[in-house]
Structure 1
Amino acid sequence: MKRTTLSLIAGTSALAAVTAFAAFDSPSASGASVAEAAARLPVERTSLLCPAPSLSDIAETSYTSFTPVIKGTANSGKAQLQAAGEQSADGTDGSQKSQKGKGTKKKADQPVLTPKAPGTPVTGDTSGGDAPALIGTADGRFAPGWTVQETTEVAAGTGRGLQGVNCTAPDTEFWFPGASTATGRTDYVHLTNPDDSAAVVDIELYGKDGAIKSPLGENLTIKPHTSEPILLSTLSDEHQSDLTVHVSVRSGRVGAAVQALDDATGGDWLAAATDPAGSLVLPGIPKDATDVRLIAFTPGGDDADLKVRLASPDGLITPAGNEALHVKSGMTTAADLGRVTRGEAGSLVLTPTDRSVPVVAALRVVRGKGDKRETAYIPATAPVGTRATSADNSAKGTTLAITAPTATATVKVTASAGSEGGTAVTKTYTIKSGTTQNVDVPSPSGLKGTYALTVEPVSGGPVYASRTLAATEAGIPGFTIQTLPDDRGMVSVPRTDEDLSVLQK
Structure 2
Amino acid sequence: MKRTTLSLIAVATALAAVTGLASLTAPDGAAAPEPKAATRLPVDRVGVVCPVPSTSEVAETLYTSYTPPSSGTGPAKSTPDQGKAEQPTAQLLPAASTTTAGGTAKNGKKPKAAKAPATVTAPGKPVTAEANGAAAPALAGTATGTLAPGWTVQQTTVVPAGAARGLLGLGCGAPDTDFWFPAASTAKGRQDYVHLTNPDDTAAVADIELYGPEGALKSQYTEGVSIPPRSTVPVLLSTLTGEAAQEDVAVHVTTRSGRVGAAIGSADDKLGVDWIAASADPANSAVLPGIPADATSVRLVAFVPGDDDADLKVQLVTPSGTIVPAGAGSLHVKSGMTASLDLPDLTRGAVGSLLLTPSDPKKGTPFVAALRVVRGKGADTEVAFVPATAAISARATVADNRAKGTTLSLTAPGAAAQVKVTASAGSGGGTPVSKTVTVKEGTTSVLADLIPGGLKGSYALTVEPVSGGAVYASRTLALPQDGTPMFTIQTFVDDRGTVEVPTAHQDLGVLD
Tell me whether the two structures share a fold, i.e. TM-score over 0.5. yes
Asked if residue 303 in structure 1 is aligned to residue 309 in structure 2, the reply is yes
Are 1:13 and 1:194, in contact at CA under 8 Å, matched by a contact in 2? no
Provide Cα deviations, 1:220-266, integer angstroms capped at 9, x if missing partner. 11001000110111112321100000001011100000011101110
Asked if residue 113 in structure 1 is aligned to residue 142 in structure 2, the reply is no
2:325 and 2:509 map into 1 onto residues whose CA distance is 63
CA gap 1:425/1:168 in 2 versus in 1, 3 angstroms: same
SS at match of 1:169: coil
1:409-488 map, 5 Å: 409-488=417-496
Task: Please say which of residues 453-462 and 86-95 is displaced more in the overlay.
Answer: 86-95
The letter of the residue matching 1:198 is A
SS at match of 1:216: coil
Asked if residue 246 in structure 1 is aligned to residue 252 in structure 2, the reply is yes
CA gap 1:247/1:217 in 2 versus in 1, 3 angstroms: farther
Are 1:13 and 1:135, in contact at CA under 8 Å, matched by a contact in 2? no
Are 1:13 and 1:47, in contact at CA under 8 Å, matched by a contact in 2? no
1:83 and 1:294 map into 2 onto residues whose CA distance is 36
CA-CA distance at 1:93 after TM superposition: 7.8
CA-CA distance at 1:115 after TM superposition: 1.4
Are 1:469 and 1:481, in contact at CA under 8 Å, matched by a contact in 2? yes
Asked if residue 396 in structure 1 is aligned to residue 385 in structure 2, the reply is no
Task: Please say which of residues 26-35 and 87-96 is displaced more in the overlay.
Answer: 87-96
1:284-363 map, 5 Å: 284-354=290-360, 355-363=363-371
Are 1:68 and 1:146, in contact at CA under 8 Å, matched by a contact in 2? yes
CA-CA distance at 1:393 after TM superposition: 0.6
Q: 1:150 aligns with which of 150, 155, 164?
A: 155
SS at match of 1:253: coil
CA-CA distance at 1:111 after TM superposition: 3.3
Task: Please say which of residues 400-409 and 439-448 is displaced more in the overlay.
Answer: 439-448
The letter of the residue matching 1:481 is I
SS at match of 2:221: helix
CA gap 1:421/1:109 in 2 versus in 1, 3 angstroms: closer
CA-CA distance at 1:32 after TM superposition: 4.6
2:93 and 2:4 map into 1 onto residues whose CA distance is 18
CA gap 1:30/1:280 in 2 versus in 1, 3 angstroms: farther
Asked if residue 279 in structure 1 is aligned to residue 268 in structure 2, the reply is no
SS at match of 1:141: helix
Structure 2, unmatched stretches of 5+, are 71-75
Are 2:113 and 2:136, in contact at CA under 8 Å, matched by a contact in 1? no
1:157 and 1:501 map into 2 onto residues whose CA distance is 73
Q: 2:390 aligns with which of 374, 382, 386?
A: 382
Q: 1:406 aligns with which of 408, 414, 434?
A: 414
Root-mean-square deviation (CA, aligned residues, Å) is: 2.2
Q: 2:210 aligns with which of 201, 205, 225?
A: 205
CA-CA distance at 1:158 after TM superposition: 2.9
Provide Cα deviations, 1:99-153, integer angstroms capped at 9, x if missing partner. xxxxxx9998773531121110000011111211100001001100000000000
CA gap 1:93/1:155 in 2 versus in 1, 3 angstroms: closer
CA-CA distance at 1:31 after TM superposition: 5.1
Are 2:99 and 2:234, in contact at CA under 8 Å, matched by a contact in 1? no
Are 1:413 and 1:455, in contact at CA under 8 Å, matched by a contact in 2? yes
Q: 1:84 aligns with which of 74, 93, 96?
A: 93
1:222 and 1:14 map into 2 onto residues whose CA distance is 21
Are 1:95 and 1:106, in contact at CA under 8 Å, matched by a contact in 2? no
Task: Please say which of residues 378-387 and 83-92 is displaced more in the overlay.
Answer: 83-92
Are 1:280 and 1:380, in contact at CA under 8 Å, matched by a contact in 2? yes
SS at match of 1:472: coil
Task: Please say which of residues 330-339 and 214-223 is displaced more in the overlay.
Answer: 214-223
CA-CA distance at 1:156 after TM superposition: 2.3
1:279 and 1:92 map into 2 onto residues whose CA distance is 42
CA-CA distance at 1:439 after TM superposition: 1.8
2:151 and 2:345 map into 1 onto residues whose CA distance is 36
Asked if residue 214 in structure 1 is aligned to residue 219 in structure 2, the reply is yes
1:192 and 1:126 map into 2 onto residues whose CA distance is 18
The letter of the residue matching 1:55 is T
Tell me which residue corresponds to 2:73: none
- May I ask how many residue pairs the two structures share in their alignment? 486
CA-CA distance at 1:95 after TM superposition: 11
Q: 2:175 aligns with which of 151, 170, 188?
A: 170
Provide Cα deviations, 1:390-433, integer angstroms capped at 9, x if missing partner. 10011111010000111100000011111111111110000011
Task: Please say which of residues 116-125 and 157-166 is displaced more in the overlay.
Answer: 157-166
Are 1:56 and 1:128, in contact at CA under 8 Å, matched by a contact in 2? yes
The letter of the residue matching 1:453 is L
1:8-157 map, 5 Å: 16=5, 18-19=8-9, 20=11, 21-22=14-15, 23-24=18-19, 25-26=22-23, 29=29, 32-70=32-70, 71-73=76-78, 75-85=84-94, 86-88=97-99, 91=103, 111-157=116-162
Task: Please say which of residues 462-471 and 36-45 is displaced more in the overlay.
Answer: 36-45
1:45 and 1:487 map into 2 onto residues whose CA distance is 13
1:58 and 1:109 map into 2 onto residues whose CA distance is 15
1:438 and 1:92 map into 2 onto residues whose CA distance is 47
Provide Cα deviations, 1:54-78, integer angstroms capped at 9, x if missing partner. 1111111000000011241355221
Are 2:65 and 2:117, in contact at CA under 8 Å, matched by a contact in 1? no
CA-CA distance at 1:494 after TM superposition: 1.3
Q: 2:239 aligns with which of 234, 245, 264?
A: 234
Q: 2:502 aligns with which of 490, 494, 500?
A: 494
The letter of the residue matching 2:45 is R
CA gap 1:144/1:481 in 2 versus in 1, 3 angstroms: same
- Could you tell me the percent identity over the aligned residues? 57
1:441 and 1:217 map into 2 onto residues whose CA distance is 51
SS at match of 1:26: helix
The letter of the residue matching 2:5 is A
Asked if residue 188 in structure 1 is aligned to residue 193 in structure 2, the reply is yes
Are 2:115 and 2:130, in contact at CA under 8 Å, matched by a contact in 1? no
Tell me which residue corresponds to 2:378: 370
TM-score with structure 1 setting the length: 0.92
Are 1:15 and 1:48, in contact at CA under 8 Å, matched by a contact in 2? no
SS at match of 1:290: strand
Are 1:468 and 1:482, in contact at CA under 8 Å, matched by a contact in 2? yes
Are 1:60 and 1:153, in contact at CA under 8 Å, matched by a contact in 2? yes
Are 1:315 and 1:435, in contact at CA under 8 Å, matched by a contact in 2? yes
The letter of the residue matching 2:303 is F
CA-CA distance at 1:13 after TM superposition: 10
TM-score with structure 2 setting the length: 0.91
1:224 and 1:236 map into 2 onto residues whose CA distance is 26
Are 2:370 and 2:388, in contact at CA under 8 Å, matched by a contact in 1? yes
Q: 2:265 aligns with which of 243, 259, 262?
A: 259
Are 1:400 and 1:441, in contact at CA under 8 Å, matched by a contact in 2? no
2:106 and 2:5 map into 1 onto residues whose CA distance is 27
CA-CA distance at 1:15 after TM superposition: 5.3
Are 1:133 and 1:192, in contact at CA under 8 Å, matched by a contact in 2? yes
